[in-house]
Structure 1
Amino acid sequence: MLRSVRTYFLSPKAHNTVRTETEVRRHHDLSQQDISPLFRLEELKGLNLYECSMEEIQQHLSEGHFTSVDYVEFCLRRIYNVNPYLECIIEINPDATKIAAELDDERRQGKARGILHGVPILVKDNMATKDKMQTTAGSWALLGSIVPRDAHVVSLLRRAGAIILGHANMSEWASVRSSNYSTGYSPRGGQVRNPYNLSSSPYGSSSGSAVAVSANIVPVSFGTETDTSIIGPASINGIVGIKPTLGLTSRAGVIPISKSMDTVGSFGRTVADAVHGLNAIVGSDERDAMTCSSSRSQRKDYSKYLTTKGSLKGARFGLPNKRCWEFVAKDIRETALTVLKAIQEAGADVVEVDFPCAEDRIPGDGNWDWTYGKPSESEFSVVKVEAFQGINAYLSELSETRMKTLEDVFEYNQKNSGTEGAKPGDHSAFPTGQNNFQQIIQSCGEATETYYQALHYTQQKCRTEGIDAALKDNKTNTVFDALILFDRKGAGQQLAAQAGYPIICIPIGVDSAGLPFSLSLQHTAWKEDVLIRWASAIEDLVHQISGWRCTPEYREHLSKNIPVVDKSS
């Protein structure tokens, strides 16, 4: 309980020392000397871009210190140097340099489109790009297929002037094909490696998107989440992840899993960078009805909600305890307590709360599990039906491929089990083969009574009896400004996924194994502005008391183990 643990708060380091962001980062400019030369970021025209922010990159571009062509070539050299070890990039855009040159011309004509203009970014390999790259969800089965159009979010990124540098590797089929698999592995892309320890799990399914940002390959990237696929990789790779409200960003052109949970979000090394990414992909789309159901999905500038630690004065946060805080590991808890006390000393109040649905929706061991509960209560009962419908609809629009249904993909995998791991025991990355695909196909996509019961149950529990209930302070008849979690294993994050609510995470430290962990903030639907305000304020506070994020050290960089091991606390 929070009241009983307050006496164990640690004193924040250098609590009264105020440093600018540049001063905070300066220490880490030097810390590259502590890592293998293989992974040190080279300079670009005499400029040190290690941990450089989007604002700084854009300033360099606008002042002519280097061009977008220079920057793209710089990022490509970074990929060639580190991707053989990290395997976070599945394909490079052969037209990236040409596109950069065109955007350089626009800049010279005074037509820069915004903060993403001429900046290379990455998209997950399940986001369709109508160009010379393949969109395969990491599967050989879709190689050679041609998508009908860009995913809507990709078209928005192009419109914003971003350069699609390539596709990021991922857990194949966004983790839906198998119940037991090596996170971050895809047959086409190989095993994504965690840059903090290459033998440890990068989490998934947006593994490559998160690793590429953490490893200073690109400043911003984009991923998708059905359940913890943005927040999990962001946390374990020491960066910021934003999973928005269901319907804020379009899923059209994204290889689907669940229409009730899928969303597209952003990664950055800072809250501001992730917000700049989010800004570019928000907007209604007639091809995704969820984005048209509310006027709140209209485009707006979320960067105006960025703030500093001073805004924490008077804020009130809830800290869910049951099956959340009570499961936080000892070494993480010590740092978490430090941050919580700093938040309180900044003038905010932190109050212990509970999710009323905790025992119904969070497994007793605190681990992520989308099969938790009986069939009429299980998230996977929803996923099975919606994945069948969604994947078949997506495949039906592809050309130049024999993969027209999920059954076709299943059969392809069976015939190529040596590379696809369709049969248990054939590939170390897939101990259970494609057993989830088998269950999805058996569902025939039929919206049975069990499906509707499970959909209603999970949404009711995670919304009304979950996040919404925990946000209410019944003693004062007020609403907390946000909920704070330090959830490493993802069980608490599942509530936001099943509710379709937003969540944002910021890195706050590393555990005894040297792996990062985060503080995450949750709120009800359409409260991205609120979460951005508090996340940026807490990030500023953390930077002031303990320095910049702990950057990757690339331990065990020769590791080739598959499956990867979760070494986190």
Structure 2
Amino acid sequence: MNRSQGKWLAVGAAIAIALPGAAAAQESPQTYLERIEAIDDAGPRLDAVIAIAPEIASEAPASAPLAGRAVLVKDNIETRDMATTAGSLALKDNMTGRDAPLVARLRKAGAVILGKTNLSEWANFRGDRSSSGWSGVGGQTRNPHAIDRSPCGSSAGSGAAVAAGLAWAAVGTETNGSITCPASVNGVVGFKPTVGLVSRTYVVPISATQDTAGPMTANVHDAALLLTAMAGSDPADAATAEADRHAVDFTKGLAEATLKGVRIGVLRKQAGKLPGVLALFDRAVADMKRAGAEIVEIDYEPDETMWRDENTLLLYEFREGIDAYLADLPGVPPARDLAGLIAFDNAHADEELRWYGQETFEEAFAATDTEAYRKALENAQRLAGPEGIDRLMTANRVDVLVAPTTGPAWPIDLVNGDHFMRVGAGSLAAISGYPHLSVPMGQVERLPVGLSFMAGKWQDAKVLRIGAAYERARTAPLSPPSFQDWHQ
């Protein structure tokens, strides 16, 4: 081992990151910057952080709820002091001078916006065979638990950064799985709130129906604390009209939360077939039962047309949303609409299209059938919401639905792309716009796996309370990141 390797391994060993469920240390922004330099820019080269803020300071008094806490923000969310690139070279100079309302709320609450995190380019909505966590601007993010394994995406950098102790917390965004999957495989907590609880203004869009930002943290309490600061109505985002009514102090009641008498709906058929994941899931269910929960086994198989129609609605909404976003950008960006982005990628194919193409962009450009979109939207949302989560909860009289979030991290493969396992039921929450919490439930061969908690619209506080109670009841051991290849 050479001196540089020894340096970053020593830094990694000294990380004061709390394992999920414990109280996370609040360290100085400067400490996090030193850690980023040692293990993100050098050492194992996680490439989780894509940019550092030019000034690191809090604008709020010491009494503010997030006073001095360092937060990283996914690089599809605008901040006034850094470019917002969505990982694409087309936006590498996109200095808008604007804070997204959710960022403004974080600053008002005392958070220090430390920098931006890498992501799957365009939040993984560009083409086939992509590798989660790769972007033209930021390169390939690595999983701190096994640096040759995927961090999942698209909030890859946010999940990896929290796992590696590069910030107190991070903000991710999700359309379908982009917070919860990286939370699961990086061994952190990720919460996708009800769509409409957090503003999407000045966030690079995919879907007006499904997009939301959410917290990624070391434990459920910190996710609730960050969400409390982020949530609220925004006149520029019609989906948030009811947010102020539901934007409570989400930390309230977490410490006293119990599983006694809570009816847990177990989606056994959505657990997959990998023996290690099944064993962890059985242990998690046993932990909840031991803590007083009533376990209800639910026999559920999704209607496959839900995913077909989700794809139709995402293509249509992306074309409309990205055209509007680009048209509104200040300055002189190299593209003002989706057609311009396609042309830019073709002109910069060596840098942007080396590993995979832009088939999704091209399909979205052609997705102009409004009637087909409306039918797809109605069917997908009906199957995920009223006939999905709502029906399952009502018919079985349960408080929450649980399943493994996803499988363990797969090897990074830029040539062939991701190797997803069909594990979990998170699409129900994503398509319906309902809350979805992923909490670490253990590890399979040193690779983290999360447990999903889902419930109905605006039931965010309940989901967080049940997740916090499970976090305390969990018996499976959790290990800190190794910052090494998996096979070592």
TM-score (norm 2): 0.90
2:202 counterpart (253, 275, 291): 253
Counterpart for residue 302 of structure 2: 358
1:294 CA displacement: 5.7
Go from structure 1 to structure 2 and tell me whether the alpha carbon gap of 1:145 and 1:214 turns closer, same or farther (over 3 Å shift): same
Please say if residues 405 and 438 of structure 2, whose CA atoms lie closer than 8 Å, have aligned partners that are also in contact. no
Instruction: Choose which of 240, 243, 261 in structure 2 pairs with 1:314.
Output: 261
Write the distance in 1 (CA, Å) between the matches of 2:243 and 2:104. 21
- In structure 1, the residue corresponding to 2:251 is in which secondary structure? helix
Is structure 2 residue 1 aligned with structure 1 residue 50?
A: no
Matched, 1:391 2:351: no
- In structure 1, which of residues 471, 474, 492 is the aligned counterpart of residue 393 of structure 2? 471
Change (3 A) 1:337 1:36: farther
The code of the aligned residue for 1:501 comes to: Y
My pick for the range that moved more, 240-249 or 146-155, is 146-155
Query: Residue by residue, what CA displacement relative to the aligned partner does 1:179-232 show, whole Å, maximum 9, x if unpaired?
Result: 220110001000000111111111100000010000011121001000000000
Counterpart for residue 81 of structure 1: 38
Q: In structure 2, how many angstroms separate the alpha carbons of the residues matched to 1:342 and 1:55?
A: 21
Please state whether the residue corresponding to 1:246 is helix, strand or coil. Answer: coil
| Aligned mate of 1:117, from 43, 49, 67 | 67
Select between 273-282 and 227-236 the one with higher mean Cα deviation.
273-282
Give the Å deviation of 1:491.
5.1
- Which residue is equivalent to 1:305? 253
Tell me the distance in 2 between the aligned counterparts of 1:381 and 1:218.
Answer: 37
Q: Report sequence identity in percent.
A: 34
Q: Distance in 2 between matches of 1:539 and 1:172?
A: 32
Deviations along 1:440-466, whole A, 9 cap, x unmatched? 1122xx352110111000000011111
- CA–CA distance in 1 between the matches of 2:32 and 2:486? 20
Shift of 1:88: 0.4
The aligned counterpart of 2:410 is none
Q: What is the number of residues matched between the two proteins? A: 464
C-alpha distance 43-320 of structure 1, shift in aligned 2 (>3 A): closer
Residue 276 of structure 1 deviates from its aligned partner by 1.0
Partner of 2:399: 481
Quote the residue 1:198 is aligned against: 147
2:343 pairs, out of 411, 423, 430, with 411
Q: Which has the higher helix share?
A: 1
SS in 2 for 1:213: helix
Aligned to 2:416: none
CA RMSD of the aligned region, Å? Answer: 2.3
Q: Secondary structure at the match of 2:437?
A: strand
Work out which of the residue numbers 285, 292, 304 in structure 2 matches 1:347: 292
Q: State the shift of 1:410 in Å.
A: 1.1
CA gap of 1:246–1:506, structure 2 versus 1, over 3 A, is: same
Check the 8 A contact 1:308/1:538 in 2, yes or no. no
Structure 1 outlier segments of 4+, above 3 Å: 39-44, 52-58, 293-297
Q: Distance in 1 between matches of 2:76 and 2:153?
A: 13
- Would the aligned equivalents of 2:151 and 2:182 in 1 still touch at CA under 8 Å? yes
* Distance in 2 (alpha carbons) for counterparts of 1:160 and 1:279: 9
Identify which of 265, 279, 304 aligns with 1:334: 279
Corresponding residue for 1:524?
A: 456
Following the alignment from structure 2 to structure 1, what is the Cα–Cα distance between the partners of residues 115 and 244? Answer: 32
Distance 1:359-1:43 versus aligned 2 partners, 3 A rule: closer
The aligned counterpart of 1:379 is 310
- CA offsets 1:333-387 (integer angstroms, 9 cap, x no match): 11221221121122211111133x614358xxxxxxxxx43xxxx2111011110
* Secondary structure of the structure 1 residue equivalent to 2:115: strand
Shift in CA distance, 462/151, structure 1 to aligned 2, threshold 3 Å: same
Distance 1:471 1:36, change over 3 A: farther
1:319–1:350 contact (8 Å) kept in structure 2 = yes
- Alpha-carbon deviation of 1:240? 0.4
For residues 210 and 291 of structure 1, the distance between their equivalents in structure 2, rounded to whole angstroms, comes to 25
State the 1:251 CA deviation.
Answer: 0.4
1:57 and 1:195 map into 2 onto residues whose CA distance is 19
Q: Is contact 1:54-1:219 (8 Å) kept?
A: no
Match of 2:362 in 1: 438
Deviation at 1:473, TM superposition (A): 3.7
- How far apart, CA to CA, are the structure 2 residues paired with 1:300 and 1:275? 10
User: Is 1:130–2:80 an aligned residue pair?
Assistant: yes
- For 2:415, the equivalent position in structure 1 comes to none
* CA displacement at 1:557 relative to structure 2: 8.3
Name the counterpart of 1:272: 221
Partners of 1:272 and 1:167 lie apart in 2 by: 23
Equivalent residue for 1:462, pick from 384, 399, 417? 384
Residue 123 of structure 1 aligns to a residue whose secondary structure is: strand
Q: How far apart, in 2, do the equivalents of 1:517 and 1:252 lie?
A: 32
1:232-243 aligned at under 5 Å gives the runs: 232-243=181-192
**Secondary structure, in 3 states, of the residue corresponding to 1:472?**
helix
Q: Is the 8 A contact 1:305 1:530 kept in 2?
A: no
For 1:210 and 1:49, how far apart are their aligned partners in 2?
17
Structure 1 residues 473 and 181, CA gap change in structure 2 (3 angstroms) = same
Secondary structure of 1:480 counterpart: coil
**Cα distance change of structure 1 residues 210 and 36 upon mapping to structure 2, 3 Å threshold:** farther
Q: Is the 8 A contact 2:106 2:230 kept in 1?
A: yes
Q: Secondary structure at the match of 1:407?
A: helix
SS in 2 for 1:86: coil
The alpha-carbon distance between structure 1 residues 495 and 511, as it changes in their structure 2 partners (threshold 3 A), is: same
> Which stretches in structure 2 are left out of the alignment for 5+ residues?
407-420
Contact 1:134–1:143, Cα closer than 8 Å, also in 2:
yes
**Could you give the per-residue CA deviations for residues 52-76 of structure 1, whole angstroms, max 9, x where no partner exists?**
8996645x8xxxxxxxxxx121111
Task: Give SS of 1:485's match.
Answer: strand
Deviation at 1:406, TM superposition (A): 1.5
User: Post-superposition shift, 1:293?
Assistant: 4.3
What's the secondary structure of 1:312's corresponding residue?
coil
